């Protein structure tokens, strides 16, 4: 797996914490769904114990789902030509 199993365990425990649940409910209007972290933890443990095929399929599907979205920002090859000039913060639009 790309991460250690303890990372998934910590994320699951954090997701279930009262403070996180309160903040998530305040921000989004619903309680957080923490089942995904638990499933990832169990799949990671299954993979570590016996390299099970089911755990490998779950992990591969999760990684592919993460990679299917394009980056939000276009990456630059070099900085803009006027990067060293001061910003026009004092000028009106």
> pLDDT tens digits, residue range 4-43?
889 989 999 999 999 999 999 999 999 999 998 898 888 8
The separation between CA 56 and the C-alpha centre of its own chain, rounded to angstroms, equals 19
Spatial neighbors of 37 by CB under 8 A, at least 6 apart, are 8, 11, 12, 15
- 40 or 59, greater pLDDT: 40
* Whole-structure pTM value: 0.55
On the question of pLDDT at 2 being above 70, the answer is: no
- Output the 3-class SS for 49-62: HHCCHHHHHHHHHH
Between CA 24 and CA 31 the distance in angstroms is 6
87: tokens are 């910003």
């Amino acid at each position: 797996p790309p991460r250690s199993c303890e990372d998934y365990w910590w994320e699951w425990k954090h997701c279930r914490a009262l403070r996180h649940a309160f903040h998530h409910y305040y921000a989004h209007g619903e309680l957080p769904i923490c089942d995904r972290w638990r499933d990832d933890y169990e799949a990671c443990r299954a993979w570590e114990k016996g390299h099970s095929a089911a755990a490998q399929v779950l992990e591969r599907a999760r990684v592919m789902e993460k990679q299917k979205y394009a980056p939000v920002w276009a990456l630059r090859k070099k900085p803009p030509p006027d990067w060293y000039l001061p910003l026009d913060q004092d000028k009106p639009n």
